[in-house]
Structure 1
Amino acid sequence: MGVLAGRTALVTGASRGIGRGIAERLGRDGARVAVHYGSNERAAKETVAAIEAAGGSAFAIGVELGRPGDSAALWEEFDRHADGLDILVSNAAIGNSRPIDEIAEDEYDRLFAVNVKAPFFLVKQGAARLRDGGRIINISSGLARNAVMPHNMAYAMTKGALDVFTRDLSKVLGPRGITVNSVAPGIIDTDNTAELLYGAPDGWDRAAAFSALGRVGETADVADVVAFLASDAGRWVTGGWVDVTGGSLV
């Protein structure tokens, strides 16, 4: 029996990248995983299939976040498959933004709608479904604490807002034994960072140089930390900001 056996997890943006790594890890640990996706149904079904092939249980939920009524639609779909939730991982996000002299208002608004508003209202509308003793884990970014990529300012701002949400929500839900934490990755090898890593001959080496450990992160590096916080071993950690940048902020 896995350490999360009998628990149900929802991971937003779980069809690929960091979200998929987290969903697969929680599935291996025994949780039944709701694999949320915005538009790539095929990728989400591949994530579900991978979890099931490893002996786990999962189902897909397709709702585009950042639209009016998105949270209500997601929970309506979730309720068709499960009767309660133990672990909520808010991972879905728009992963970059144009510089301040290029970004338009509609892009800015869309960024905040997906990265900040959606996680907020998922909790607001899903709190009754989240069982006492549950876990909320918000995927932040090292850029919320470091200006190494100032061109990505608006994106970094959304993650700073998410961190404030984490901090204050931990006080609101603490009386129910629910922990709330932010996990902040650095540069991780996903399709979202493909241009950075592979767009120039020295891209990989330059990215690896940010880390004190001298390498680019893998999705498992983030998923393992999330799995710890989701487990009983993480019961005394709440309101925290966990640096998973490989020492990029040292």
Structure 2
Amino acid sequence: MSRTELTSPKAALVFGGSRGIGAAIARRLAREGYAVALTYASRADKAAEVVAAIQADGGQAIALQADAADQHAITAAVADATARLGTLHVAVVNAGIYQGAPLDRFPVDTLDQMLSINVRGVFLAIQAAAARMVDGGRIVTIGSNTAQRSGALGGSVYSMTKAAVATLVRELALDLAPRRITINNIQPGPIETDITAAFLDHLIQRNPLKRVGRPEEVASLAAYLVSADASYMTGASLTMDGGYSI
């Protein structure tokens, strides 16, 4: 799909689209011809940079503040996006956090926060987006290869939340199938972002391909999953990690 093939831009909403993978997906969807709304939690400056980059490339984009743990903020963001851009054709749920610690030192408050954002927030975003999505729409979640295997001390809770996302996507595919809405989950391994910048060398050495992924590579897979070519795929979790979790 290209911008020239659209009589008017179809609307896409990227939850957590101000940095890293989410920003790359927002830019890619804009290049594919979508009018893009992206949410951010606190970095309005980063969100504005993504919007400016899309607009400079001739695309249409808006940024909306929404805490992934706040049900009312999520619902309001979806309502705002559809009011300004039209009924949703695509939703990408990328918001999430990572905090790690061994079992005996893992704070309950951190556990609650990660469950609230990484699991509850994902469900709420899917629920709100699906309610304002055309039949035949596309939903993509960004999970993690740690849903299969972490191999890192202190990563148990994060892995648990990402395994929950994979299960949620598999089961919600049944709920959404009567409307021909597909839902799929991308499970990236180590990706070069500001979060991984401090330990890239370690990640590269552990990876069979001796490199980490780029956000644009994840965005390419997301673009495929929302395309007509992927209309028969739903409920799937696709791992993209260079063999890291083998």
Conservation of the 8 A alpha-carbon contact between 2:82 and 2:88 = no
2:226 to 223, 230, 239: 230
SS of 1:27's partner is helix
Residue 157 (1) aligns with residue 153 (2): no
The gaps in structure 2 that reach 5 residues or longer are: none
In 2: Cα distance, 1:170 partner to 1:210 partner: 34
In 2: Cα distance, 1:187 partner to 1:172 partner: 31
Q: How many residues align?
A: 243
Aligned to 1:115: 118
Conservation of the 8 A alpha-carbon contact between 1:188 and 1:216 = yes
The offset of 1:55, in angstroms, is 1.7
Residue 217 (1) aligns with residue 213 (2): yes
In 2: Cα distance, 1:218 partner to 1:186 partner: 10
SS of 1:137's partner is strand
Counterparts in 2 of 1:1-250, with a 5 A limit? 2=2, 5=6, 6-67=9-70, 69-197=72-200, 204=201, 206-250=202-246
In 1: Cα distance, 2:158 partner to 2:166 partner: 13
In 2: Cα distance, 1:209 partner to 1:42 partner: 33
The offset of 1:128, in angstroms, is 2.3
Give the aligned residue type for 1:224.
S
Identical-pair percentage: 37
Give the aligned residue type for 1:2.
S
In 2: Cα distance, 1:99 partner to 1:78 partner: 40
The offset of 1:116, in angstroms, is 0.9
In 1: Cα distance, 2:84 partner to 2:135 partner: 20
The offset of 1:82, in angstroms, is 2.6
SS of 1:69's partner is helix
In 1: Cα distance, 2:211 partner to 2:71 partner: 40
In 2: Cα distance, 1:125 partner to 1:117 partner: 12
Q: TM-score, normalised by structure 1?
A: 0.91
Q: TM-score, normalised by structure 2?
A: 0.93
Conservation of the 8 A alpha-carbon contact between 2:145 and 2:187 = yes
Conservation of the 8 A alpha-carbon contact between 1:83 and 1:129 = no
The offset of 1:68, in angstroms, is 5.0
The offset of 1:150, in angstroms, is 3.6
